[in-house]
Structure formats: C-alpha cells, structure tokens
C-alpha cells in the first residue's frame, strides 16, 4: 500500500511526537522548522565565555525547565522514554512562595531540552531554518512556500504544529474558522534572564565572591515578590555541567510583568530583571554574563478558550490539513504531547488520500 506523504510544520514537542508516531506507522514524514534547531520552547541557550585561555561553553535551559511528574498517558510515555536516556527524572529542592522547601519529583530532557525532540525525530526527514510563509493546495497536493517559492515536493497532507498567532497566517486561506479561533487565543509572554557568575579556571585569580557560592538550600525558587516568578539554578540537572568556577540561574519574569513590558528593549528589561535577581539571592554575585530573551508566546493564558472545540487537535480529512500544539491539548508540555499524539493517531485512522 502507498502510504501518504505528510509535511509537519514545527519541530516542538507537538510536531515532533506527531512526526514520530506517523513515521513509525510507515508514513513518509518531512518536518520543517524555522529555527536552526528543533525543540521550540524546549530550548537550551549555548554560550561561550572566553575570559581564559580555554573558552568555556555553558548551556542554560531558558524555555521550559524541569517539569513535574503527573499521572496518565504522558507520565507513562516519559517513563518508557527514560530508558532511552532522552529524559531523566529529577527531584529538585523547590522553595515555594510560602518559603517551604521540598523535593519535587519531575523530569528534564537530557543532555539539553531539545534532546527530547531530537530523539523523536531520529530517522525523520528534517529541514531547519525553513520559515514556512504560506500553504498552497494544488492538483498534486500541498506545497509549502517560502519567499513565494515552493520548498520540497507536494505533500498529501500538512500538519501545522506552531503557536496559534503564527498558525493564523498559514491556516486562514484554507480553514478561516480555525484561524479566527486561533487568533482569539491569548498567549502569555515571558521575559527570561540568563545570568552566569564566577571566573573561569586559569584566567587569573578567581573572584572571592564567585568561589564562595553558598548552597542556597533550594534549586528552584518561586516568588511573587517583584518581576520574577521563578529562579532555576543551572548546571545541576541530569546531563548538565557548568564547571566548578561558575554558577548560573535562569530567571523567568511573571506573566503580568512580561505583559506590561513586552515591547521593552532587551537593554531596558535586562537591568530591571538583574536587579530583581540580585534581590532574591542572599549574597552579591560576580556576574560575568547576563542576557535576556523575550518569549512572545510562552504559554496559552487559558488553553482551549476562545471557542476552540473541546478536542486536542483539528483535522480536515477532505483537505488533508491538520493542526496541533500545546494550546489545543490543554496547555504546557503535556498538552503539546497529547495534541501531537492524538492528531497522529486520528490521522492514521482517517488516512488522507495519496496524490503521488
Ligand atoms: C519560559 C517558558 C517556561 C515554560 N514553563 C513550562 C512549565 O513549567 N511546564 C510546562 O508544561 N510547560 C511550560 N512551558 C510551555 C511549554 O514549553 C510549551 O507548552 C511546549 O513546549 C509547546 O510545544 P509546541 O510543540 O506546542 O510548540 P513550540 O515548542 O512553540 O514549537 C513550535 C515550533 O514551530 C516552529 N515554527 C513557528 N512558526 C513556524 C513557521 N512559520 N515555519 C516553520 N516553523 C515554525 C518554532 O520554531 C518551534 O520550533 C514554558 C514555556 C516557556 C517559553
């Protein structure tokens, strides 16, 4: 039997799990992502500090960090996946907003956050640095367009696995109702500060301050005091190393602060967030690298609001067009996983006609 060719736009968790399931069932799957790598909001920033004779490379998880264990199909899937090494269980010391500290059982991808999607996309045709701008449905199937030029062959079906505000552009010519509903979804932004303190070995005298980094008694701190909502110590998660001469934090601003300052420049946001980080740490740090990243679409404010159907994905079998993502699946990583997985299973039962 001739199995359909399917293009998936977006290599975050939703698109990657959808691609993995379809590919495992024998479909000819090709994934396109606008970024240079995969993972989407499962993101790790690599930085190089060259203050010494040997430049040091550090990696900081600046999108979703550790996520808590749950129950149900996603948790079972993670437990199975842990055998491959793509994810590992991790129980950080979490200090909650009341000041209580406890071990919180959860998961991280390893050795970095995109590793989970890289694992799922093994053996799947992948094109990165491909920002798809439009979809055209012709007699031979779906064409994906960049700069008014078709990329790749025609496909029997297309899955749009990108955040709703970005999906609107691709969907509106073919499924205007989906596009209108996606447009109505409110996405929360998140300003994120990455801050590294310390001195590299061999670069002269390490600073006294950086050598005396105390054990703060917590690995993740949640706060309601000021712009920052969560601090996550870096380099201590499974698979990561930071070197003994550095310590680093990723600090996520609250949805309210991020919304109020969404259009600020990085130059404006960075000192404010750094000051807030300094306030939450017990002693002054010798910062050697600080940088901010603005996530314009970090999480859906109210997943499934805005009139979208109470289902985890959308699929038009006549057109061979589908869409998935965290915003449809109930939010967060679990929502992304359910949405991508459910769409793939649905598509396999209602297979699109092959054009080629
Ligand atoms: C700072 C932060 C903290 C978070 N914390 C948590 C948490 O604690 N717990 C939790 O469960 N979730 C958390 N999340 C949310 C979680 O990361 C997301 O819900 C999940 O990763 C979304 O997966 P996705 O596949 O739906 O979308 P994405 O990961 O956004 O993937 C979409 C992909 O599509 C690509 N793309 C977009 N437009 C195009 C285009 N035109 N052409 C080609 N490619 C395109 C993007 O490059 C991206 O790779 C957090 C997110 C952020 C940013």
Q: Which of 43, 13, 51 is nearest to 112 (CA)?
A: 43
Supply the CATH number for residue 127's domain: 3.50.50.60
**Would you say the CB of residue 113 lies under 6 angstroms from ligand 1?**
no
- Number of folded domains that form the chain: 2
Q: In this predicted structure, what is the pLDDT of residue 201?
A: 46
Region 106-114 average pLDDT = 97
Bridge partners, 7 (sequence order)? 30, 158
Is residue 197 domain-shared with residue 222, that is, in the same domain? Answer: yes
Is residue 76 domain-shared with residue 202, that is, in the same domain? Answer: yes
Query: How confident is the model over 41-97, as pLDDT tens digits?
Result: 999 999 888 766 666 788 999 999 999 998 899 999 999 999 999 999 999 999 999
Residue 356 covered by a domain: no
How would residue 301 be classed by pLDDT, with cut points 50, 70 and 90? confident
Q: In this predicted structure, what is the pLDDT of residue 303?
A: 61
Is residue 145 domain-shared with residue 274, that is, in the same domain? Answer: no
* CA distances for 217 relative to 2, 46, 65, 220, 250, angstroms: 58, 26, 19, 9, 17
Residue 97 covered by a domain: yes
Is residue 308 domain-shared with residue 293, that is, in the same domain? Answer: no
Question: Given the CA of residue 166, which atom of ligand 1 is nearest to it?
Answer: 38
Is residue 242 domain-shared with residue 253, that is, in the same domain? Answer: yes
Q: In this predicted structure, what is the pLDDT of residue 351?
A: 66
- List the single range of 18-32, 70-84, 128-142, 242-256 with lowest mean pLDDT: 242-256
Query: How confident is the model over 140-178, as pLDDT tens digits?
Result: 999 999 999 999 899 999 999 999 999 999 999 999 999
**Would you say the CB of residue 63 lies under 6 angstroms from ligand 1?**
yes
**Would you say the CB of residue 256 lies under 6 angstroms from ligand 1?**
no
Query: How confident is the model over 188-241, as pLDDT tens digits?
Result: 999 999 999 985 444 434 444 444 456 889 999 999 989 999 999 999 999 998
Q: Ligand 1 atom 50: the closest Cα is on which residue?
A: 64
How would residue 324 be classed by pLDDT, with cut points 50, 70 and 90? very high
Residue 222 covered by a domain: yes
Percentage of the residues of the chain whose pLDDT score is greater than 70:
89
Question: Given the CA of residue 16, which atom of ligand 1 is nearest to it?
Answer: 25
Is residue 101 domain-shared with residue 134, that is, in the same domain? Answer: no
Say if residues 313 and 339 touch (Cβ distance below 8 Å).
yes
Is residue 224 domain-shared with residue 163, that is, in the same domain? Answer: no
Ligand 1 centroid from CA 17, angstroms: 13
Is residue 223 domain-shared with residue 333, that is, in the same domain? Answer: no
Ligand 1 centroid from CA 188, angstroms: 12
| pLDDT, the chain, mean | 90
Residue 355 covered by a domain: no
**Would you say the CB of residue 295 lies under 6 angstroms from ligand 1?**
yes
Is residue 128 domain-shared with residue 245, that is, in the same domain? Answer: no
Q: Which of 256, 218, 221, 203 is nearest to 54 (CA)?
A: 203
Supply the CATH number for residue 279's domain: 3.90.660.10
Say if residues 113 and 237 touch (Cβ distance below 8 Å).
no
Is residue 236 domain-shared with residue 343, that is, in the same domain? Answer: no
Ligand 1 centroid from CA 40, angstroms: 5
Q: In this predicted structure, what is the pLDDT of residue 206?
A: 43
Between CA 4 and CA 26 the distance in angstroms is 9
Question: Given the CA of residue 10, which atom of ligand 1 is nearest to it?
Answer: 34
Residue 354 covered by a domain: no
Is residue 74 domain-shared with residue 172, that is, in the same domain? Answer: no
Between CA 151 and CA 155 the distance in angstroms is 11
Ligand 1 centroid from CA 261, angstroms: 21
Q: In this predicted structure, what is the pLDDT of residue 302?
A: 76
Q: In this predicted structure, what is the pLDDT of residue 194?
A: 98
Domain that holds residue 203: 44-113+187-300
pTM, two decimals, is: 0.94
């Amino acid at each position: 039997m001739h199995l359909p060719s399917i293009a998936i736009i977006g290599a975050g968790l939703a698109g990657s799990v959808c691609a993995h399931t379809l590919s495992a069932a024998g479909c000819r799957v090709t994934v396109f992502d606008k970024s240079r790598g995969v993972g989407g909001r499962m993101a790790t920033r690599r930085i190089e500090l060259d203050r010494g004779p040997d430049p040091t490379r550090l990696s900081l998880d600046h999108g979703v960090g550790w996520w808590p264990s749950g129950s149900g199909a996603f948790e079972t899937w993670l437990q199975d996946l842990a055998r491959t090494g793509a994810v590992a269980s991790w129980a950080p010391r979490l200090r909650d907003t009341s000041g209580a500290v406890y071990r919180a059982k959860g998961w991280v991808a390893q050795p970095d956050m995109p590793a989970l999607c890289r694992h799922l996309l093994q053996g799947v045709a992948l094109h990165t640095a491909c920002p798809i701008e439009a979809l055209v449905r012709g007699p031979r199937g779906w064409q994906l367009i960049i700069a008014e030029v078709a990329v790749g062959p025609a496909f029997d079906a297309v899955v749009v696995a990108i955040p709703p505000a970005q999906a609107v552009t691709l969907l509106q010519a073919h499924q205007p109702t989906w596009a209108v509903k996606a447009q109505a979804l409110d996405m929360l932004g998140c300003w994120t500060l990455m801050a590294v303190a310390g001195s590299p070995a061999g670069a002269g005298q390490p600073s006294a301050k950086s050598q005396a980094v105390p054990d703060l008694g917590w690995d993740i701190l949640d706060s309601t005091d000021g712009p920052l909502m969560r601090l996550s110590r870096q380099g201590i998660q499974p698979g990561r190393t930071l070197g003994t001469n550095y310590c680093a934090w990723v600090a996520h601003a609250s949805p309210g602060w991020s919304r109020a300052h969404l259009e600020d420049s990085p130059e404006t946001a960075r000192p404010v967030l750094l000051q807030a980080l300094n306030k939450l740490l017990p002693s002054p740090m010798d910062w050697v690298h600080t940088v901010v990243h603005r996530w314009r679409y970090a999480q859906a404010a109210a997943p499934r609001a805005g009139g979208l159907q109470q289902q985890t994905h959308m699929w038009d079998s006549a057109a061979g067009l589908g869409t998935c993502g965290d915003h449809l699946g109930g939010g967060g990583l679990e929502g992304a996983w359910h949405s991508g997985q459910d769409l793939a299973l649905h598509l396999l039962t209602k297979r699109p006609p092959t054009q080629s």
